[in-house]
Amino acid sequence: MSAKSTSGPGGKKPTSVATNLIGKHVFVAGGGAGAMEALACHPLDTIKVRMQLSRRNRAGGKRRGFLKTGMEIAKKETPLGLYKGLGAVLTGIVPKMACRFTSYEYYKQMLSKDGKVSTSANFWAGLLAGVSEAVLVVCPMEVVKIRLQAQHHSMADPLDIPKYRNAAHALFTVVREEGFSALYRGVSLTALRQGTNQAANFTAYTELKAWLQSRNPDPTAQLPGWQTAGIGLISGAVGPFTNAPIDTIKTRLQRQPAEPGQTAMGRITAIANQMLKQEGPRAFWMGITPRVMRVAPGQAVTFAVYEYLKDKLEKSREMIPGGQYEE
């Protein structure tokens, strides 16, 4: 299928989003790809969060790099400490991936003209898909994940009992102590981060895919898996560089309960001003190395698996009148 077209295999009319994308196969495909990504890359996310939360520069200490940060976590909290918050990620990965690709395909079809998708339409479809997944899935999941990752307890010492024991306990505790709205702390920043992430991600991916397809004898043919993974790797690295300051502020915002009487925008402004004055501009880019190392390979896996299974599903079904698929 062409990168800049909504047509199905053979140039046929596209399927409805509900028929083709919200089926169990795509849920399993997206969830499986996301689970593989999380298991392989979650330690880098934990290191990123610890680097973003670090105040060593304000205290006059030297900033730790991502390797030293990772070694410190493994030494003091055992290697399992690098997987803190994994349960929250795995729980949310299936609906997250399903929401991302379903909403992206929906917005892409909605913004297309005569079956053609422009670069600006791809950008807006990615932006809206990122905002959708942020509000529906990502923000609550990340509040729980960050609370778990911020704990410095040893995973090997049974007497070192943390406040949050696991993802379910953290979710229950946050809601009980701070209210349901606490799960949406930082939702504006999360939506901004996810929106810009997916706008850059899908735009870069689509442009690279279209360029590679234009060099093939059949421009509508499916790209081989290694090429899909390669452009997914490149497109996945674009987003983190565009919104690192947003991600750092969001992480600090979601780490702790809100101060009484303080608005969300007031907290965001206070955190940003405090970071700038006490830690300098570099603080906004803390954790960028492990973040790129986590996101880029994750997108390579996700796009490769998604494109492969989507292509197989589309080819295994025949179009019938009305744009519906017949099994």
Residues 301-315 have a mean pLDDT of: 79
Is 37 part of a structural domain of the chain? yes
> Residue 255 is part of which domain span?
9-314
The number of folded domains in the chain is 1
Kindly give the residue spans of alpha helices, DSSP state H, lying in 215-287: 225-255, 264-279
Is 145 part of a structural domain of the chain? yes
pLDDT at 128 over 90: yes
Is 320 part of a structural domain of the chain? no
Is 3 part of a structural domain of the chain? no
Q: Distance (Å, rounded) from C-alpha 327 to C-alpha 324?
A: 10
- 130, 187 contact by CB (below 8 A): no
- 96, 138 contact by CB (below 8 A): yes
CATH number at residue 249: 1.50.40.10
Residues 109-136 have a mean pLDDT of: 91
The full DSSP string for 123-167 is HHHHHHHHHHHIIIIIHHHHHHHHHHHT----SS-TT---S--SH
Q: Distance (Å, rounded) from C-alpha 26 to C-alpha 37?
A: 16
3-state secondary structure of 300: helix
Strand partners for 324: 320
Is 319 part of a structural domain of the chain? no
Cα separations in angstroms, 294 against 44, 233, 306: 6, 10, 18
Give per-residue pLDDT as tens, 81-119: 889 888 877 877 878 888 888 889 889 989 988 888 899
Give per-residue pLDDT as tens, 143-176: 888 888 888 765 555 556 778 888 888 899 999 9
CA-closest candidate to residue 324, choices 8, 1, 43: 8
pLDDT at 189 over 50: yes
Q: What is the pLDDT of residue 291?
A: 83
- 286 or 155, greater pLDDT: 286
Is 212 part of a structural domain of the chain? yes
3-state secondary structure of 262: coil
Which of 53-57, 90-94, 233-237, 257-261 has maximum average pLDDT?
Answer: 233-237
- 242, 200 contact by CB (below 8 A): yes
Is 296 part of a structural domain of the chain? yes
Residue showing tokens 């998708």: 117
Going 210 to 125 to 191 to 17, the CA torsion angle's sign is negative
Q: Which residues touch 143 (CB under 8 Å, ≥6 apart)? A: 174, 182, 183, 184, 185, 186, 254
Is 325 part of a structural domain of the chain? no
Angle (CA) 136-137-138 rounded to 5° is 120
DSSP 280: -
